[in-house]
Amino acid sequence: MFVARSIAADHKDLIHDVSYDFHGRRMATCSSDQSVKVWDKTESGEWHCTASWKTHSGSVWRVTWAHPEFGQVLASCSFDRTAAVWEEIVGESNDKQRGQSHWIKRTTLVDSRTSVTDVKFAPKHMGLMLTTCSADGVVRIYEAPDVMNLSQWSLQHEISCKLSCSCISWNPSSSRAHPPMIAVGSDDSSVTYTGKVQIYEYSENTRKEISSSTGPTKFEVQIVAQFDNHNSQVWRVSWNITSTLLASSGDDGCVRLWKANYMDNWKCTGILKGDGSPGNGSSGQPGALGTAGGTLAAASQNSLNGTSVGR
């Protein structure tokens, strides 16, 4: 792997989240400087900042894109106990020429009494739904009944997780075989017997979320592989788009990539870590065709001139 490009994000404080849109053509970054920036990728692969604005009155923890079927919509959540929904407005032509666009706030969700730690849109087949989780352990699910009117959101469900929540993730599957599911992670430092990851399922009968946490549960949980390479606290894990590569980030300051081979043996296939230099790094050169491949090349002892065309 190599660093293909470095984008000067120019936030005035620590970046907390970076998020690609559905097609990978736009990017949003959010920071402790209370702002969100939106970046657009040009044909040639360069990134331009097309919007930068103050979104909250506290550090912005997460920013996430809605599915493009709903338009150009972002949601952000913050230490200031609120989450907000933003929509891009097509600007005047001179704005377009300058490559700038405007985002306006459609709604602010103020139900939380503590810092809102994560915000995620539900899979599109569920309509326009948004979920937030807070440090006081409450998960809230909102819905916009009219997808053309983003100012109207109603709180559909409130789930008390009893543990401080740090992250949520929706089951992306649109299969009718099972109801919608949401996983909630906790960073609560207290000792619990129920486990730090809870999975909630929507029950049509009771029309509310029921918990099946990791403990005695109707789900069969199997450990496929276990690694302690980080040798420290692991803060984030995430699958890539095809769910074939898993990335994890830990206290050792590294990101590790995990992949299974065709025999289902998992192993670490790459490590990303900082080079230790502070401040202003910039993009490296694209590397040669793989170091591992290079081993193969070195072993191939034919000279460059030794090929014949025939056959």
Please, which of residues 146-205 interact with another protein by CB under 8 A?
Answer: 148, 164, 166, 174, 187
221 is an interface residue for another protein by CB under 8 A = no
9 is an interface residue for another protein by CB under 8 A = yes
Which residues inside 268-287 make contact with another protein, applying CB under 8 A?
268-287
177 or 299, CB closer to another protein? 299
- The single residue among 4, 155, 221, 225 that binds another protein, judged by CB under 8 A, is 4
Would you state the torsion angle of the CA atoms of residues 44, 48, 50, 54, taken in this order, to the nearest 10 degrees? Answer: 150
Q: Residue 35 CB, nearest distance to another protein (Å)?
A: 12
Q: Residue 236 CB, nearest distance to another protein (Å)?
A: 7
| Contacting residues for 57 by C-beta, under 8 A, at least 6 apart | 34, 78, 80
Quick one: which H or E segment has residue 197?
strand 197-203
181 or 257, CB closer to another protein? 257
240 is an interface residue for another protein by CB under 8 A = yes
* Cα–Cα distance, 282 to 96 (Å, whole number): 29
> Which long-range contacts does 209-214 make (Cβ < 8 Å, 24+ apart)?
209/141, 209/157, 209/159, 209/182, 211/159
Of the candidate spans 54-62, 103-111, 149-157, 194-202, the one that interacts with another protein by CB under 8 A turns out to be: 54-62
142 is an interface residue for another protein by CB under 8 A = no
C-alpha distances (whole Å) from 234 to each of 31, 47, 80, 238 are: 21, 30, 26, 12
304 is an interface residue for another protein by CB under 8 A = yes
251 is an interface residue for another protein by CB under 8 A = yes
Q: Check if the beta carbon of residue 240 is closer than 8 Å to that of residue 232.
A: no
Let me know how long the chain is: 311
96 or 215, CB closer to another protein? 96
Q: Check if the beta carbon of residue 30 is closer than 8 Å to that of residue 62.
A: yes
262 is an interface residue for another protein by CB under 8 A = yes
- The single residue among 7, 49, 183, 197 that binds another protein, judged by CB under 8 A, is 7
Count of residues of this chain found to bind another protein when the rule CB under 8 A is applied: 114
- The single residue among 99, 145, 215, 294 that binds another protein, judged by CB under 8 A, is 294
222 is an interface residue for another protein by CB under 8 A = no
126 phi, psi to nearest 5 deg = -95, 5
Question: Residue 296, Cβ neighbours under 10 Å: how many?
Answer: 10
25 is an interface residue for another protein by CB under 8 A = yes
Give me 52's structure tokens: 């930068």
